[in-house]
Amino acid sequence: MIAFVVGTRPELIKIAPVVKALERRGAPLSIVHTGQHYSYELDAIFFEELGLPRPFANLEVGSSGPAQQLGTIIIRSAEVLAKLQPRWVLVQGDTNSVLGGALAAYKLGMPVAHLEAGLRSDDWDMPEEANRVLAGRVAALHLCPTEGQVERLRRENIVRGVHVVGNTVVDAALMNADRARERSQVIERLGLAGKRYALVTLHRPSNVDSEERLTAVLRALGAVGRHHGLLLVFPTHPRTRATIARMAEGRRFSEPPFITTDPVGYLDFLRLAADAQLTLTDSGGVQEEACTLHVPCVTLRANTERPETVDVGANMLCDSTAPGVLEAAVETMLARPRTWKNPFGDGRAGERVADLLLDPNTRRVPSGAP
Ligand code: UD1
Ligand code: UDP
């Protein structure tokens, strides 16, 4: 049996293709949900839309300080994994749920498969950088989106159990593109038919936890919207919403050019992403999706752990909120021909991962072990 320890929105989206591939092979699996995300629009809607099986357990860790959250994930996931005795424990990405699930499995002597292995931003102010590096240290199977991550892992002396499989974000987008076009009413609901808009998401602590920084970022975005005649469709993460609620000019950012909504489900997001002129984001998964959908992206950060998106010309970094700087970056990206080759694979990553997990010859001890 294969156990998935997952806890947040992007993990649910990115494990779905692996879950489906295992189901097609008749392989038993269990989802252990940490409960890091629990609001309907960050959690249950993805189970419904992606047809994921009900979790075997929900650990209900909820929101708390990062150390307490991580500790609770380790303790509670260890209890459930000890009952399940899986052949593999798969974690995806770089959240606290990933590190907690990986450490619990490792301490129980269970082999860890890390999906989306080897990404590095080299920015240790990001909680995700520690999570991904430390999860990688205890993993036996490193499932990399591209060759770039193989090289990053090699520099850390992780060479065994490393495979390039592509990114399951592509599988998920391809599997759901038609359904999104048929079923999502989001363009109509938000009054966007025939309108030019950019899709905006923000949730990185470095951008959204300080009122001063978030005000500066949103002012800069507003200026871009006015300068380029773009509406700014802004499904707002709860972390970001909480800071906006405290900000003196918070209400301004739900007025045009901003079209502010609660977070939307995956089908609505895919439809919004596909029809946008541009994506403005600090999300990891959204950078990859924009690249996959051939929509140009400006990443509102100083670094990215997805450098392939920049290398192929799909993405540009812009951390500055100084007048005119973001407008210029947007101008450059709007003019880019949308002809880049998607670096994240052919949409069959889930199949490759399922095959590796079910192959009796796949090595199941941590890569550092003799
Ligand atoms: C987490 C991950 C981040 C990932 C993101 C995906 C870590 C350290 N961070 O960030 O890597 O990119 O998920 O979206 O693991 N909240 C709700 N409802 C929920 C969950 C959270 O309202 O269902 C609110 C709470 O006030 C909470 C805040 O959002 O304090 C932040 O949630 P948390 O899970 O700690 O981090 P994210 O910012 O979501
Ligand atoms: N997403 C969504 N609804 C939204 C915003 C994002 O379904 O309102 C999806 C999006 O399709 C992408 C994923 O969430 O696949 C990205 O997750 P997020 O930005 O929360 O986290 P990150 O990828 O930065 O870890």
pLDDT in tens, 63-84: 999 999 999 999 999 999 999 9
Residue 328 lies in a domain: yes
> Both 136 and 193 in a single domain?
no
> Both 124 and 202 in a single domain?
no
Q: Is the CB of 68 under 6 A from ligand 1?
A: no
Residue 113: strand pairing partners:
90, 141
Task: Say whether 229 sits in a helix, a strand or coil.
Answer: coil
Q: Cβ neighbours of residue 153 under 8 Å, at least 6 residues apart?
A: 117, 118, 136, 142, 144, 159, 162
> Both 264 and 159 in a single domain?
no
> Both 13 and 115 in a single domain?
yes
Which residue numbers in the chain have pLDDT < 50? Answer: none
Mean pLDDT, the chain, integer: 98
Return the closest-CA partner of residue 4 out of 72, 55, 46: 55
Whole-angstrom Cα distance, residue 150 to residue 3?
A: 24
What is the structure's pLDDT at 246?
Answer: 97
> Both 160 and 200 in a single domain?
no
Protein residue whose Cα sits closest to atom 16 of ligand 2: 285
Which domain, by its residues, includes 351? 2-167+346-358
Residue 367's identity, in one-letter code, is S
Rounded to 5°, the CA angle 297-300-303 comes to: 95
Residue 180 lies in a domain: no
0.95 exceeded by the pTM? Answer: yes
What whole-number percentage of the chain has pLDDT above 70?
A: 100
**C-alpha pair distances (Å), 5 with each of 50, 113, 339:** 17, 11, 37
Count structural domains, the chain. Answer: 2
DSSP letter, residue 336: S
Place of tokens 């949730």: 203
Q: Is the CB of 127 under 6 A from ligand 1?
A: yes
Does 203 participate in catalysis according to the annotation?
yes
Task: Say whether 141 sits in a helix, a strand or coil.
Answer: strand
Residue 240 lies in a domain: yes
The two tokens of residue 339 are 């002809």
Residue 340 lies in a domain: no
Residue 110 lies in a domain: yes
Residue 265 lies in a domain: yes
> Both 256 and 276 in a single domain?
yes
Ligand nearest to the CA of 263: 2
Q: Is the CB of 41 under 6 A from ligand 1?
A: no
> Both 306 and 353 in a single domain?
no
> Both 64 and 210 in a single domain?
no
CATH code (residue 145): 3.40.50.2000
> Both 219 and 328 in a single domain?
yes
Cis-peptide, bond into residue 257, ω within 30° of zero: yes
The two tokens of residue 98 are 């990933």
Q: Where are the beta strands (DSSP E) in the chain?
A: 2-6, 29-33, 57-58, 88-92, 112-115, 141-144, 162-164, 197-201, 231-235, 258-261, 278-281, 297-299, 315-317
Q: Is the CB of 37 under 6 A from ligand 1?
A: yes
Mind listing the pLDDT tens digit for each residue in 22-34? 999 999 999 999 9
CB 89 within 8 A of CB 5: yes
Rounded to 5°, the CA angle 94-299-146 comes to: 50
Whole-angstrom Cα distance, residue 118 to residue 19?
A: 22
> What 3 state SS string does 337-360 have?
CCCCCCCCCCCCHHHHHHHHHHCC
Question: What's the order of all strands across the beta sheet hosting 278-281?
Answer: 258-261, 231-235, 197-201, 278-281, 297-299, 315-317
> Both 89 and 190 in a single domain?
no
Selecting among 203, 227, 237, 294, the annotated active-site residue is 203
> Both 136 and 198 in a single domain?
no
How far is residue 308 CA from its own chain's centroid?
16
What is the structure's pLDDT at 369?
Answer: 76
Residue 172 lies in a domain: no
Mind listing the pLDDT tens digit for each residue in 237-246? 999 999 999 9
